[in-house]
């Protein structure tokens, strides 16, 4: 049986369920994610869309997109951030902290050069994205 995790927004108006493991998990240091998260980095977990289900509160989800690459979803009631739809990659980033009992297992860092927090964890640090995710594949030193 596939792993399954449930969770939701800060106020509970939205409930989300994911099945299986992320296709890719890591940390994003880009300025857009840092501003959106109001944090130096964003922990991402990219799931295939068929593995993400809104169980409750679809009408309470609002979307903001600064670019066509990322459609950021949040709860209209409490403002709690939920996920980012990346249509070009056909993946949805469901925030680890939204899912109860989910263990974030990062594989890499992306947009590492844009970040303000340097982390020495032995994971690959990409200038943008790995090649298989549409990036240059160029890595940066820790």
pLDDT digits (tens, 9 = 90+) for 90-137: 999 999 899 999 999 999 999 999 999 999 999 999 999 999 888 999
Distance CA 35, CA 33 (A): 5
In DSSP notation, 25-37 reads EEEE--HHHHHHH
The predicted model scores a pTM of 0.91
**All structural domains of the chain with their residue ranges:** 4-133
Read off the tokens for 77: 């009631």
pLDDT in tens, 40-98: 999 999 999 999 999 999 999 999 999 999 999 999 999 999 999 999 999 999 998 99
Q: Give pLDDT, residue 28.
A: 95
Which residues have C-beta within 8 Å of that of residue 11, sequence separation ≥ 6? 75, 77, 78, 80
**Per-residue pLDDT tens digits for 10-21:** 999 999 999 999
* pLDDT of residue 140 exceeding 90: yes
Chain-wide mean pLDDT for the chain? 95
Considering the domain delimited by 4-133, tell me its CATH architecture: Beta Complex (2.170)
């Amino acid at each position: 049986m596939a792993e399954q995790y449930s969770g939701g927004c800060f106020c509970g108006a939205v409930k989300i369920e994911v099945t299986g493991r992320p296709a890719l998990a890591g940390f994003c240091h880009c300025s857009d994610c840092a501003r959106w998260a109001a944090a130096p980095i964003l922990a991402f977990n990219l799931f295939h869309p068929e593995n993400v289900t809104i169980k409750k509160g679809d009408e309470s989800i609002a979307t903001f997109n600064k670019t066509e690459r990322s459609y950021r979803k949040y709860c209209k009631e409490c403002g709690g951030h939920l996920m980012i739809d990346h249509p070009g990659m056909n993946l949805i980033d469901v925030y680890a902290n939204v899912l109860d009992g989910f263990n974030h297992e990062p594989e890499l860092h992306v947009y590492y050069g844009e970040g303000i927090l340097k982390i020495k964890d032995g994971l690959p640090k990409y200038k943008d994205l790995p090649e298989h995710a549409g990036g240059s594949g160029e890595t940066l030193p820790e």
